[in-house]
Amino acid sequence: MATLEIRDLHVTVAEADGGVKEILRGVDLTIRSGEVHAIMGPNGSGKSTLAYSIAGHPKYTVTSGSVTLDGEDVLAMTVDERARAGLFLAMQYPVEVPGVTVSNFLRTAKTAVDGEAPKLRTWVKDVKQAMDDLRMDPTFAERNVNENFSGGEKKRHEILQMELLKPKFAVLDETDSGLDVDALKVVSEGVNRSLERTDVGVLLITHYTRILRYIKPQFVHVFVDGRVAEQGGPELADALEESGYDRFLAKA
Amino acid sequence: MTAVDETTDPNPTDPVTETPANGARAHSHGAGTVPDASRAERVTSYDVADFAVPRGREEEWKFSPLKVLAPLFAEAAADADETAHVEVSGPDAVEHRTGTPAEIGAGAGFRPGDRAAAASWAATTQAHLVRIPAEAELDAPVLVTVRGEAGRTTSGHLLIEAGHHSKGLVVLDHVGGGAHRGGVEVRVGDGAQVTVVSLQEWDDDAIHVGQHDVLVGRDAFARHIAVSLGGKAVRISANLRYAGPGGDAQLLGVYFADAAQHLEHRQFVDHEATNCKSYVEYKGALQGEGAHAVWIGDVLIRAAAEGTETYELNRNLLLTDGARADSVPNLEIETGEIVGAGHASATGRFDDEQLFYLQSRGMPEADARRLVVRGFFADIIGRIGLPDLAERLMATIETELAATMPGAHDALQAVATGTSTTTQTTTEEN
Ligand SMILES: Nc1ncnc2c1ncn2[C@@H]1O[C@H](COP(=O)(O)OP(=O)(O)OP(=O)(O)O)[C@@H](O)[C@H]1O
Ligand SMILES: [Mg+2]
């Protein structure tokens, strides 16, 4: 049983004009293994900022607060150390890596995260199976990472990595956006498989409730203006489905 | 790789000028430096006397380290033996002969275009012919090794003749030290498919000026790949001409310039025949104080060359401060009846988002950089078609990369010389 704890997190970004803008204004969240937490919020409320701050993106500066993984100071770790400690971020906009094939990328990542190269035989089988489960064509493995991928392919590729790298905690940033219903089901099944097999804790960031029909959160946090405005169980998501974010925005 | 475009061109034009390969668009970059009235007017001659010793003011020499290259401009003394040490091996079907350039029939597809090339031609007493017979399809590459020696200046000429409808791959590897000037003449017969790879794997102190002329037969496919990793100063001029219509040719290159190393690649694609295609792509990485890469891509589409399709591209990846990349595409178009013409040039540094993505998958920064650089070169090196050789070249690149990692990627200097484009006529064509 692992715990990811975020306490009073404040984060700023440097603006183009040289100014500094505070985006996260005191976030508190505790996630345990096997739990699914949905973070819902309007555009620009700081959801991706939270995701990137946990992963350690250099663009974001943590000005106060803490993030710990089983008591270890995550904020003191480099980006790659966080990944090796068991954190995973499925990105809203995954980046192209020209000239690097998916298969090479996956193997390199797996080796880095585990600290040793995977056994070739089982690894090849695992990759094949995971790609098959996500309805990804085998030829995909020889394409360059995210290069000319459709929106849906990028998201499948992110979930593929989650399934293969087996993190302790996964932050999924708008994994549902840009997916049609079929793809949404396939990708959700992938997340659910990880939940069953690895006891991963999931922070599911989304703007809409539709992915919550397939991935059932135990906790729902409404994110407004850089902090959690309200939290509750799955019923909170249903309420948002009905009334939208207006009620929170009015308050903010 | 996201391009960071920086330019110090006195006449700045869009540093990244991309024109789609179909549908020529009128360029209006006439303000750039125009080297000659036309690239076609540049002198070619077998007589050294027709070329003055370059002083550095000449357009075609202004980027080169002339003091370093000086030994290669000297005429060979009458009693000097400048014979380069050359080893040739390959499949049985291939004919290998040596003799004077005249004896092996050299020259029909080669005319020296600068002083070093003319001096080399004059000094060569033992040239090499590698002939792939008509219709032969080689099942293994031909390997030609030129071994330089410290303290010596060597000259040489290699004629690669591919008979009609033949298929083959020739790898020319330059190793060792000293000063070398070498001509390479590639004559690709009608319908033949030939790849010539020139590896510059010189010792650190070697200097090399080479001219490689490729003559592409009717409906033939030719590919020239320059890989420059070693040497103190290397300058390779690759010239492409078409002997008949329907030819398809690629000039590709990769280079990795280290501290105080000068790697220069010039191409001249001369389109005169109809319905020919050319594609030029050079990619380089630079690191260390005084690392200097020069890429000059001249393409001329003559009035008669209707149906031409051409694209040229140069990308530089600056890994540290103190390195300089000059990149000058030059496209001259004398007919509107073309399929497409375009060029792009960009000099940039590591993309932080790429590095973040890889690091967020557990890879330490140095590994992430290595993977990005590997990816940057993978495509062109892969097109050599020899996995073992590709792996060896990648390993060399990674060894060089290790010298500066973890590098200071924040402070970088890019000097893109911008684009100088002369356009006589360009109109839309379906
Ligand atoms: N470099 C920056 N300079 C100024 N503002 C920034 C910068 N980066 C992010 N922001 C702002 O921070 C706020 C939060 O952005 P963030 O991407 O975290 O929102 P989000 O909740 O993920 O939105 P979305 O639903 O659109 O993905 C936005 O108002 C955004 O414009
Ligand atoms: Mg977002």
* Best CATH choice for the domain A3-251 from the list 3.40.50.1110, 3.30.420.270, 3.30.110.40, 3.40.50.300: 3.40.50.300
Domain that holds residue B91: 20-349
pLDDT at position A240: 86
In B408-426, which positions are buried (b, 16+ CB within 10 angstroms) versus exposed (e)? ebeebbbbbbbbbbbbeeb
Taking contacts as CB-CB distances below 8 angstroms, the residues of chain B near A154 are none
User: Residue B176: inside a domain, yes or no?
Assistant: yes
Domain contains B180: yes
Please provide the DSSP assignment of B324-342 as one string: EEEEEEEEEE--S--SEEE
> What is the A11 CA–ligand 2 centroid distance (Å)?
15
| A40-62 pLDDT tens trace | 999 999 999 999 999 999 999 99
Q: Which of B75, B71, B230, B67 has its CA nearest to residue B146?
A: B230
At B268 the pLDDT is 98
Residues of B in contact with A173 (CB under 8 A): none
Co-location of B329 and B379 in the same domain? no
Same domain assignment for residues B283 and B408: no
Whether the CB-CB separation of B259 and B292 falls below 8 Å is answered with no
pLDDT confidence tier of residue A251, bands split at 50, 70 and 90: low
Please answer whether residues B287 and B397 qualify as being in contact, where contact means their C-beta atoms are separated by less than 8 angstroms.
no
With respect to residue B400, please indicate whether it lies within any of the assigned structural domains: yes
Regarding whether B113 and B147 lie in a shared domain, the answer is yes
pLDDT tens profile B104-135: 999 999 999 999 999 999 999 999 999 999 99
B130 found inside a domain = yes
Chain-chain contact of B356 with A96 (C-beta, under 8 angstroms): no
Domain boundaries, chain A: 3-251
With vertex at residue A94, the alpha carbon angle to CA A90 and CA A95, rounded to the nearest 5 degrees, is 140
Query: What number of other Cβ atoms are within 10 A of residue A148's Cβ?
Result: 8
| Tens-digit pLDDT profile for residues A78-136 | 999 999 999 999 999 999 999 999 999 999 999 999 999 999 999 999 999 999 999 99
* Domain assignment present for B419: no
For every residue of B400-414, DSSP letters joined together read: HHHTTPSP--SS---
Ligand 2 ion local residues (Cβ < 5 A): A 47-48, 92
Query: Residue A244's pLDDT band (boundaries 50, 70, 90)?
Result: confident
Q: Which residues pair with B419 in a beta bridge?
A: none
Q: Are residues B341 and B406 in the same domain?
A: no
pLDDT at residue number B408 = 33
Distance from CA of A237 to the nearest CA of B (A): 30
Same-domain check for residues B307 and B188: yes
Query: Do B43 and B93 have their domain in common?
Result: yes
Provide, rounded to the nearest whole percent, the portion of chain A with pLDDT above 70. 99
From residue B113, give the alpha-carbon distance in Å to each of B162, B251, B368. Answer: 23, 18, 43
B420 in a structural domain: no
pLDDT at B323 over 80: yes
Section B70-79 average pLDDT: 92
B306 and B327 both lie in a single domain: yes
Q: How many of the other CB atoms lie within 10 Å of CB of A18?
A: 6
Distance A112 CA to ligand 2 centre (A): 27
The alpha-helical segments, DSSP class H, found in B247-364 are 352-359
Task: Please list, in sequence order, all residues whose beta carbon lies within 8 angstroms of the beta carbon of residue B399, skipping any fewer than 6 positions away.
Answer: none
Query: Would you place residue A250 in the very low, low, confident or very high pLDDT band (cuts 50, 70, 90)?
Result: low
pTM for the full model? 0.83
B351: tokens are 């993309």
Q: Which residues line ligand 1 (CB under 6 A)?
A: A 13, 15, 21, 23, 41, 43-49, 92, 174, 207
Range B62-68 contact pairs with CB under 8 angstroms and sequence separation of 24 or more: B63/B264, B63/B292, B63/B294, B63/B296, B63/B326, B64/B233, B64/B235, B64/B262, B64/B264, B64/B294, B65/B233, B65/B262, B65/B292, B68/B207, B68/B232, B68/B233, B68/B262
Q: Could you give the ipTM of this predicted complex?
A: 0.96
The count of domains in chain B is: 2
Assess whether B219 and B366 both reside in one domain.
no
Quote the tokens at residue B17: 């000028």
Q: Closest Cα of chain B to A98: distance in Å? A: 6
**Residues B81 and B212 both lie in one domain:** yes
Q: Is residue B25 part of a domain?
A: yes
How does the average pLDDT of chain A come out, rounded? Answer: 95
Q: Is the pLDDT of residue B31 over 50?
A: no
- Give a yes or no: residue B427 inside a domain: no
